[in-house]
């Protein structure tokens, strides 16, 4: 299999499991998000929960997520001391890490991040991210970042998606094992956290914008209040989508948007 490294050149030795992160691997679970919520208060370190099979996996906007065996299902539980608004910025760290992990296996020129945090490969959806959190309305108790990647199979029966599903396997000859992918993803995520700590959210934002698939396109962002159509311009320092609409620039929080 061709192996792309985010820093250029081939990467013969994959990354190691990152220091400071735990990992729990389950055979079967209802949803790794549900398992994360059950375990969150007792966990002492950031922890990845991976399951070989999920029986009730969830997607964004209350949709089910279909996971054929061989695809990746994992949730990262974090407990940073911060506000809930700050915690939402972690979705960009996760999206960058997911992009970088996929870029080991697929041609980076064919990959793109679609607002708010799906990954497109050859124009189809190869991976999605779901954020769930618990807090007191202002401060965060825990945040879980659920990641589903169509590694081996394109799920059947996805009819309501704006972007047809695809798989990593369709773009490369080989099949990537979920635990190998998880190691790359966990390592890329740990690097993103380090960048956030040393360089701030601006650096994360820059990475995200470099990987973004739809800058400059006219898009419609549907929010609970209204639909907004405009040119997808950038994300701002708060992690809000800036859309250039006919009425001027509009900043829309990621959590409010669905397409």
Integer Cα distance of 247 and 226 in angstroms: 14
Binding residues with ligand BTN: total (CB under 6 A): 20
Residue 148: CB minimum distance to ligand BTN, A:
3
Q: Which range binds ligand BTN by CB under 6 A, 90-98, 122-130, 189-197, 225-233? A: 122-130
75 binds ligand BTN (CB under 6 A): yes
47 binds ligand BTN (CB under 6 A): no
165 binds ligand BTN (CB under 6 A): no
148 binds ligand BTN (CB under 6 A): yes
For residue 218, which of 206, 210, 203, 228 has the smallest C-alpha distance? 228
182 binds ligand BTN (CB under 6 A): no
Q: Which long-range contacts (CB under 8 A, 24 or more apart) does 248-251 make?
A: none
Output the CA–CA distances (angstroms, integers) from residue 116 to 20, 57, 141, 177, 202, in the order listed.
28, 20, 23, 26, 17
For residue 145, which of 19, 21, 6 has the smallest C-alpha distance? 21
Q: How many residues does the chain have?
A: 259
Cβ closer to ligand BTN: 4 or 181? 181
Residue 130: CB minimum distance to ligand BTN, A:
4
Output the CA–CA distances (angstroms, integers) from residue 210 to 11, 127, 250, in the order listed.
21, 18, 21
Q: Which range binds ligand BTN by CB under 6 A, 56-64, 181-189, 226-234, 250-258? A: 56-64
150 binds ligand BTN (CB under 6 A): no
222 binds ligand BTN (CB under 6 A): no
Cβ closer to ligand BTN: 118 or 207? 118
Q: Which of 54, 167, 183, 192 binds ligand BTN (CB under 6 A)?
A: 54
Give the helix ranges, DSSP H, for 89-175.
Answer: 90-102, 168-171
183 binds ligand BTN (CB under 6 A): no
Q: Which of 57, 87, 88, 93 binds ligand BTN (CB under 6 A)?
A: 57
Residue 18: CB atoms within 10 Å = 18
Question: Which SS3 state, helix, strand or coil, does residue 231 take?
Answer: strand
Cis check for the bond before 116: say yes or no (omega within 30 of 0): yes
168 binds ligand BTN (CB under 6 A): no
* Burial group, residue 214, by CB count within 10 angstroms (0-12, 13-18, 19+): middle
| 92-121: contacts with ligand BTN (CB under 6 A) | 118
Q: Which of 4, 40, 46, 58 binds ligand BTN (CB under 6 A)?
A: 58
Footprint on this chain of ligand BTN (rule: CB under 6 A)? 31-33, 54, 57-60, 63, 65, 73-75, 118, 128-130, 146-148
């Amino acid at each position: 299999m061709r192996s792309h490294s985010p820093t250029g050149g081939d990467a013969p030795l994959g990354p190691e499991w990152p220091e400071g992160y735990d990992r729990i691997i389950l055979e079967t679970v209802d949803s790794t998000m549900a398992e994360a919520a059950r375990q969150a208060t007792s966990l002492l370190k950031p922890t990845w929960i991976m399951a070989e099979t999920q029986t009730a996996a969830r997607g964004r906007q209350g949709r089910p997520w279909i996971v054929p065996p061989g695809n990746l299902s994992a949730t990262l539980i974090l407990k940073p001391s911060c506000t809930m608004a700050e915690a939402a910025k972690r979705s960009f760290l996760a999206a960058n890490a997911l992009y970088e992990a996929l870029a080991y296996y697929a041609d980076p020129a064919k990959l793109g991040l679609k607002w708010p945090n799906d990954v497109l490969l050859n124009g189809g959806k190869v991976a999605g991210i779901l954020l769930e959190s618990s807090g007191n309305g202002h401060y965060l108790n825990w945040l879980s970042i659920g990641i589903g990647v169509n590694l081996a199979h394109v799920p059947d029966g996805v009819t309501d998606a704006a972007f047809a599903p695809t798989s990593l396997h369709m773009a490369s000859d080989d099949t990537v094992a979920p635990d190998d992918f998880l190691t790359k993803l966990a390592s890329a995520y740990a690097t993103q956290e380090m960048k956030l700590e040393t360089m701030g959210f601006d650096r994360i934002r820059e990475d995200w914008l470099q990987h973004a698939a739809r800058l400059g396109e006219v898009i419609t962002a549907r929010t609970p209040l209204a639909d907004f159509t405009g040119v997808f311009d950038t994300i701002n320092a708060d992690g809000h989508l800036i859309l250039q609409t006919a009425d001027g620039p509009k900043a829309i929080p990621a959590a409010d948007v669905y397409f």
